[in-house]
Amino acid sequence: MADRPSDLVQGTLDMLILKTLALEPMHGYGIAVRLEQMSKGVFRLNAGSLFVAFQRLQRDGLISSEWKATENSRRAKYYALTDQGRKRLNSETREWGRQVAAIARILEAS
């Protein structure tokens, strides 16, 4: 089980976070839980690497943040995809698909 982000393919964490945010704005823990659920428990992220990625994405202008109340009425910072982030997600998804297909072809060739 890969539970450390360093085991993620370099750069995929950012893409996954963007994908998670494509539906709706979420707070940090929500993103972590969603990633775990969607990966069926393969990616369990620690707080440090997750928040480094948030900081990076925000500085790159791909996500924005806002303090809001959660459903349990606690204060949390919600992250949302910006237009630029949406564009980046599309282009990265396409590129990822291309690469995966290419790698698959190589691995399947006998």
Closer Cβ to another protein, 2 or 104, answer by number: 2
Closer Cβ to another protein, 19 or 62, answer by number: 62
Binding another protein (rule: CB under 8 A), the pick from 55, 90, 91, 99 is 55
Binding another protein (rule: CB under 8 A), the pick from 40, 59, 83, 110 is 59
Gap between the Cα atoms of 51 and 79, Å rounded? 11
Closer Cβ to another protein, 74 or 105, answer by number: 74
Binding another protein (rule: CB under 8 A), the pick from 10, 73, 75, 106 is 75
Binding another protein (rule: CB under 8 A), the pick from 38, 47, 103, 104 is 47
56 touching another protein, by CB under 8 A: yes
Q: Tokens 């006998």 appear where?
A: 110
Q: Which residues contact 96 (CB under 8 A, 6 or more apart)?
A: 12, 15
Which residues in 10-47 are b (16+ Cβ under 10 Å) and which e?
eeebbbbbbbbbeeebbbbebbbebbeeeeeeebebee
